């Protein structure tokens, strides 16, 4: 149990899911504080059976706050996280700003919970596309050590925010009606289209989103030797990221062995029956916290390869759920994590 939990960015798309999860999972906090910009100040927000008024985010907002979950853009996180840490608050941050800081643990609770105990006031939650891929990689890595990964992502518009979701809806209607389509959020029209760029270009020809998957994966698994190549694509899907992944391991794994390892891992659901047309899809994964895996097969291009398909709700396990799980760990084990003294 902790005394006070704050949610920063409480009125955003992910922030609202965080609030729903806190109520659903009966988060062990005596007091809840909702923080956002001045534009949202005073807005009443229902959390479970209680209504809370949103407060303006200021440095003094964190006095007496034990844990804060932040779901904000990078520039906001860069500003508010130091305010919180200075006042003794442990921050679970969902932005990309602190993820690759060597002093900040990057955590998926099912994968590397031990890293939480190394925090110095900040714990980062990974990129949504990284999270579901690493969840799939972890049991295979532990059993046979992953050498190489080739991944193509098919990322829903919800990952770009509420305005992006509205743009997909409006653009699809316009496309069907053969009317002009506006594209303000995306660089190209999204309806009935695929955009093979998420993030800004990097000198090596990859995008920032693709390099997040490379660098974050190595950090979470603690293995810089894993070779990873990613291609990230925005698709006209409302919610739920999909990934086609080829995983090459040192030790040979059969498809049945991989299937059993994945099915036995917490937070993974295997849906894998091609003949029955049973496999993960974004529409059925949306609204769930698990990572769904199917189309598991031995690769025919390399002897130790496993090819598979995975889908996850990017707003839940890819963002809100992962952050809430980290906060739950802190509430259970103390604010420094297992094996360290701290308030609890």
Residues labelled as active-site residues = 128, 241
Residue 134 tokens, joined: 């690493």
Ramachandran region of residue 101, left (φ > 0), alpha (ψ -120 to 50) or beta?
Answer: beta
Provide the token pair at 289: 């916290």
Token pair in block for residue 147? 């050498």
Cα gap 71→64, rounded to integer Å: 20
Provide the 3-class DSSP secondary structure of residue 306. strand
Q: Are strands 67-70 and 2-8 parallel, antiparallel or unpaired?
A: parallel
Q: Give how far the C-alpha of residue 273 lies from the chain's centroid of Cα atoms, to the nearest Å.
A: 27
- Report the 3 state secondary structure along 232-249: EEECCCCCCEEEEEEEEE
For the purposes of burial, counting CB atoms within 10 Å of the CB of 288, is it exposed (0-12), middle (13-18) or buried (19 or more)? middle
Distance of CA 107 to the CA centre of its chain: 10
How far, in Å, CA of 92 to CA of 107, rounded? 10
Quickly tell me which residue has 């295979």 as its tokens. Answer: 140
Query: Under a CB-based contact definition with an 8 Å cutoff, are residues 132 and 285 in contact?
Result: no
Count of alpha carbons within 13 Å of 266, Cβ hemisphere only? 8
d(CA 270, CA 247): 17
Q: Please, what's the largest Cα pairwise distance for the chain? A: 63
Rounded Cα–Cα distance for residues 246 and 265 (Å): 19
Residue 185 CB neighbour total at 10 angstroms: 17
226: Cβ–Cβ under 8 A, 6 or more apart, which residues? 146, 147, 148, 149, 217, 218
């Amino acid at each position: 149990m902790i005394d006070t939990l704050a949610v920063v960015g409480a009125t955003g798309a992910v922030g609202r899911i965080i609030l729903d999860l806190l109520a659903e999972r009966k988060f062990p906090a005596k007091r809840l504080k909702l923080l956002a910009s001045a534009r949202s100040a005073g807005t009443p927000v229902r959390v479970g059976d209680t209504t809370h008024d949103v407060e303006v985010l200021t440095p003094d907002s964190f006095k007496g706050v034990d844990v804060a979950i932040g779901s904000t853009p990078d520039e906001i996180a860069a500003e508010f996280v130091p305010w919180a840490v200075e006042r003794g608050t442990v921050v679970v941050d969902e932005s990309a700003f602190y993820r690759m800081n060597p002093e900040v643990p990057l955590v998926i609770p099912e994968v590397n919970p031990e890293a939480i105990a190394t925090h110095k006031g900040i714990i980062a939650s990974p990129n949504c596309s990284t999270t579901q891929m690493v969840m799939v990689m972890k049991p295979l890595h532990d059993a046979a050590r992953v050498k190489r990964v080739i991944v193509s992502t098919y990322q829903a518009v919800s990952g770009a925010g509420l305005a992006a979701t509205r743009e997909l809806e409006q653009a699809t209607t316009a496309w069907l009606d053969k009317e002009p389509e506006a594209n303000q959020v995306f660089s190209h029209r999204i309806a009935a289209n695929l955009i093979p760029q998420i993030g800004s270009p990097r000198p090596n020809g990859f995008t920032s989103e693709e390099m997040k998957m490379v660098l974050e994966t190595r950090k979470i698994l603690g293995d810089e030797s894993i070779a990873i190549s990613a291609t990230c694509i925005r698709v006209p899907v409302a919610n739920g990221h999909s990934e086609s992944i080829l995983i090459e391991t040192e030790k040979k794994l059969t498809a049945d062995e991989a299937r059993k390892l994945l099915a036995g891992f917490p937070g993974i659901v295997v849906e894998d029956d091609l003949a029955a047309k049973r496999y993960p899809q974004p529409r059925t994964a949306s609204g769930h916290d698990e990572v769904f895996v199917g189309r598991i097969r031995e690769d025919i291009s390399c002897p130790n390869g496993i090819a598979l398909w995975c889908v996850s709700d990017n707003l839940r396990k890819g963002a809100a759920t992962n952050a809430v799980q980290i906060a739950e760990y802190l509430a259970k084990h103390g604010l420094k994590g297992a094996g360290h003294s701290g308030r609890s």
